A and B are shown apart, each in its own frame.
Chain A
Amino acid sequence: MRDKSLTHQGPRQDRSGAIWLIQAFSGLLLVALLLLHMVAHHFIVEGGLREFRQVVDYASHPAIFAITIIFLIVVTVHTVLGLRAILIDLRPSLAARRSIDWLLLAIGVAIIIYGIWLEFIIARL
């Protein structure tokens, strides 16, 4: 039996596989949610969402409220991971990479918190 101990060559296993899986699944979810979003906006509401009150009523519906927040989280996760992949192509140093990871995490969390806060504001109008 040959054994050249591949596991001792090159970098060890890391979390890049898990990150790729999250990006892939968030991409799939994006397609489904975007489709749902467009169908709901253009076909569920008769004549489409044309007036401010219609939009507020639509956004306040508990199911739509939940879907919008899921949509927001999925878009943010997918975008932040995509941006991270591009930044890593620039071959930053290890220290810079850690900063990039924390910065992107902070930006992502801020976007999600701000988006959820906005959703609550709109739902109360």
Chain B
Amino acid sequence: MPEATVPFKIFRYKQGQNAGHYDTFDVPIDEDTTVLVALQTIRRDQDSTLMLRHSCHHASCGTCAMLVNGREELPCVVNVLDLRSSPVVVEPLRNIPLVSDLVVDMTDFYARVNPADRPYVRHSEFLPWAQTPDGIDSYSRFENCIECGACVSACPISGTDPDYYGPAALAAAWRVVEEPRGRQPQQALNWVDNEKGCWRCHVAFECTEVCPSGVDPGGKIMALRGELSKQKLRGLFGFGRR
């Protein structure tokens, strides 16, 4: 049984329109309703033209990322009643080209992240005391980043400079340096060693704040700077390769 009816103020835009606008929908909510389920309810019962992206419903795929009350969230894991707001304002991610309503075009995002060629598995730091079965040296786990785009949406530099690699790509580059798994760490470092790369960051750490997976892109960018700084200083004093 619904516990309440909550108004949702949703950004709307269709190709060809000059500007977006907001539509408000009243949605029946119970204690388990997430923002994503509420949006699907609107699409099913009130307006089938509402466009949104989603897949897994449990924060694994990153497909549904959007702004909920002005903050980057995965709406699949945001409980509506926990927000304690009326209306709930839902908007598409920022700094990524808009396609329609809540859908953004992730093409550029992937084009920036993919060149880093980050490995998708990593050495697991969890349960370091756990014994592994015969034939297995250590446990691996999947990489944290789910490529949701929340970090790019929150980044003030991505908002002002479209040529900036962005926090997701830079964090991916650090993953190669951190645990190469056959990749070339120095190539990753050279790739980010320019003003569109790791030196462009203004250390706002908004990316780290909004990341739903604990990637800490801001920390990774600082790690890239630290590694490059070490190399430059070694080079300056004649110890290093550069």
Contact = CB atoms under 8 A, between A and B. Distances in A.
Contact of B116 (A6, A12, A24): A6
Interface in A8-45: 9-14, 16-21, 24
Contact of A10 (B165, B182, B183): B165
Contacts of B225: 17, 20
Contacts, number: 68
B194 A20 contact: no
Q: Interface size bucket, B side?
A: 20 to 34
Interface stretch (B2-10, B62-70, B102-110, B195-203): B195-203
Given A6-B115, A21-B232, A91-B160, A11 B196 contact: yes
Given A6-B188, A17-B228, 13 more contacts: A1-B182, A2-B117, A3-B184, A6-B187, A6-B190, A9-B115, A10-B196, A14-B193, A14-B195, A17-B232, A18-B232, A88-B195, A91-B160
28 contacts: A1-B184, A2-B182, A2-B183, A4-B117, A5-B187, A6-B116, A6-B117, A6-B184, A6-B187, A6-B190, A9-B191, A10-B115, A10-B191, A10-B196, A10-B197, A11-B194, A11-B195, A11-B196, A13-B193, A14-B194, A16-B194, A16-B200, A17-B194, A17-B199, A20-B199, A20-B229, A21-B229, A89-B157
